[in-house]
Amino acid sequence: MRLLVLAGTEDGRLLAEALKQRGHEILVSTLTAYGANLVREQGLKARSGAMDPESLTDLLKANDFAALVDATHPFAIQVKEMAKKVCANLVIPYLRWERSALNLEDHPLLQWAENLSNAAQITAKLGQRILLTTGSNGLPEWVSHPLMKDKILFVRVLPTSEVLVRCESLGLKPNQIVAAQGPFSQEWDEAMFRQLKIEVVVAKESGKVGGTLEKVQACLNLNIPLVIIKRPVAEQD
């Protein structure tokens, strides 16, 4: 069976590899060229670049895919909804694979936020030196948020030129940018938090394989508050 797999993370690539081992013909679609290179290193076919409904439709039709397997990040809601609608229009099966969510016990240091704006409101009350580990897409909103005006923001982002340019364009200085490829160990996180004298960490609930649990453990060990943004809720059919 010929399958199009939407994936940009390690677990998505492993899923694509497992499908290939079961005899399926796989093409993996990633957002970045870097992600596509990682896919090819695993011996899989890949293409990269953002897609709109028209380009995704053309890709599915031109290659006669039997189904689409959506293994994108839990926070990639727009991509999920677009892929579902395109598949429905083409009468092609849409299959969603999503990593398991974390099941964390309540703790005074763990604060849950409904969205980015809510996270900023919570974070502003907890400390001055804030580390954002939520990716680069939401940085404009963080940097421009009124409650962040007098805060010292640090960001941990992917080490690509595009992301670094985005950070610099928002006024972030080199000593505020940690450009590194995760996921990271608990020990790595603890060392970074100490080095930067972080007072609050912000993360997304990305699941068991997204590095969130390591951040939780590091923050609890160092007595640092962690604000966790809940997964967005997709539209129901």
Residue range 133-177, pLDDT digits in tens: 998 999 999 999 999 999 999 999 999 898 999 999 999 999 999
Q: Evaluate whether 223 touches 109 at the Cβ level (below 8 Å).
A: yes
Whether the pLDDT of residue 235 is over 60: the answer is no
Q: What is the pLDDT of residue 69?
A: 97
Domains and CATH numbers, the chain: 2-96 (3.40.50.2000), 110-229 (3.40.50.720)
Q: What is the pLDDT of residue 207?
A: 76
pLDDT in tens, 99-137: 777 888 899 999 999 999 999 999 999 999 999 999 899
pLDDT in tens, 49-72: 999 999 999 999 999 999 999 999
Q: 108: buried, middle or exposed (CB in 10 Å: 19+, 13-18, 0-12)?
A: exposed
Which pair of structure tokens corresponds to residue 108? 């005074």
Q: Evaluate whether 136 touches 167 at the Cβ level (below 8 Å).
A: yes
Prediction pTM value: 0.85
Segment 183-211 shows an average pLDDT of 91
Q: Evaluate whether 218 touches 193 at the Cβ level (below 8 Å).
A: yes
pLDDT in tens, 182-191: 889 999 999 9
Whether the pLDDT of residue 35 is over 50: the answer is yes
Instruction: Give one DSSP letter per residue of the chain, joined into a string.
Output: -EEEEE--SHHHHHHHHHHHHTT-EEEEEESSHHHHHHHHHTT-EEEES---HHHHHHHHHHTT-SEEEE---TT-HHHHHHHHHHHHHHT--EEE--PPPP-PPP-TTEEEESSHHHHHHHHHTT-SEEEE-S-STTHHHHHH-GGGTTSEEEEEE---HHHHHHHHHTT--GGGEEE--S---HHHHHHHHHHTT-SEEEEE---TTTTHHHHHHHHHHHT--EEEEPPPPPPP-
> What distance in Å separates the CA atoms of residue 99 and residue 11, rounded to the nearest whole number?
8
Q: What is the pLDDT of residue 222?
A: 98
81 contact partners, CB below 8 Å, separation of at least 6: 234, 235
pLDDT in tens, 75-103: 888 899 999 999 999 999 999 998 777 88
